[in-house]
Amino acid sequence: MNPETTQLDKTRFDLQIIASWIEPGSRVLDLGCGHGDLLLLLKQEKQINGTGIELSEEKVARCIERGLTVLQGDFSEEILDYPAHRFDCVVLSQTLQQVMNPKKLIPELLRIGKRVIVSFPNFGHWQVRLQVLLTGQAPVTGQLPYEWYDTPNIRVISIKDFKQFLRMTGIKPVKEVAINSHHHDENGHIIKYLINLRATYGIMMLERSA
């Protein structure tokens, strides 16, 4: 009956990096938390005080079964209730590309959280570029496995685009890392050069500019 355990090295590679950025004991909100892998990891390894928001009843129930605090709902609406600075860190992992209004969402996340960690698949990756160039069709890759007609990804973002967006909105990236890893893989490596061409995912930690 004891809550199950999870291990860092069995966790999705981008979540491993996100977890490493989170201070022990902090208050964390995970948007689109799925089955709660990240929250469970952080609870066990860093004793964080976590909350997840998730749309699917089945996933919410799974989170509660794992002893996590989770709200069923649409996070764009759910976050509006929280008072300012309610969380030390808000995590938006691999969901930004599905958000209807990122320009409104990200400042709102910086209202309720001191820091926001965002990870997203990089549409600037060379495979994506090559596919568009050679086939003339919407790209389908390991990180973007959907066809144009069934994809939940309504935003096309590259790492370069997102950094431009941050400059435009005056939001400060305090940490950033680009990685190369497969969709749900626990292995991967950090990309240092030609990031927008070689990385499959971008991960950034944002803060309000003073």
Partner 1 sequence: MENASDKTSTAPLRVKKQYFTFAEPPNEMPLDSGARLGPITLAYETLGRLNADKSNAVVILHACSGDSHVAGYYGDDDPRPGWWENMVGPGKPVDTNRYFVICSNILGSCMGSTGPSSINPKTGRPYGFDFPMVTIRDMVRAQKHLIDHLGITKIMSMLGGSVGGMQVLRWCTDYPEMVISAIPLATTTRHSAQAIAFDEVARQAIMADPDWQGGNYYDGPGPRHGLAVARMIGHITYLSDESMRNKFGRRLQNRSSLSFDFAGDFQVESYLRYQGAKFVERFDANSLLYITKASDYFDLEHDDGSALLDERLTATKFLVISFSSDWLYPTYQSRALVSKLKKNGCDVSFCEIDAQWGHDAFLLPNKQLDSIISSFLNRIYHESRNNAAR
Binding positions for partner 1, rule: CB under 8 A: 1-3, 49, 51, 57, 60-61, 63-73, 78, 81-83, 86
CA distance 169 to 165: 6
Q: How far is the CB of 143 from partner 1 (least distance, A)?
A: 31
N-term to C-term CA, the chain: 47
Q: How far is the CB of 30 from partner 1 (least distance, A)?
A: 13
β pairing state of 188-191 and 201-208: unpaired
Q: How far is the CB of 82 from partner 1 (least distance, A)?
A: 6
- Per-state percent for the chain, helix, strand, coil, to nearest 5: 35, 25, 40
CA distance 75 to 54: 7
Nearer Cβ to partner 1 (52/188):
52
Nearer Cβ to partner 1 (40/191):
40
Cβ atoms within 10 Å of 200's Cβ, excluding its own: 25
Nearer Cβ to partner 1 (73/142):
73
Nearer Cβ to partner 1 (71/190):
71
Q: How far is the CB of 46 from partner 1 (least distance, A)?
A: 16
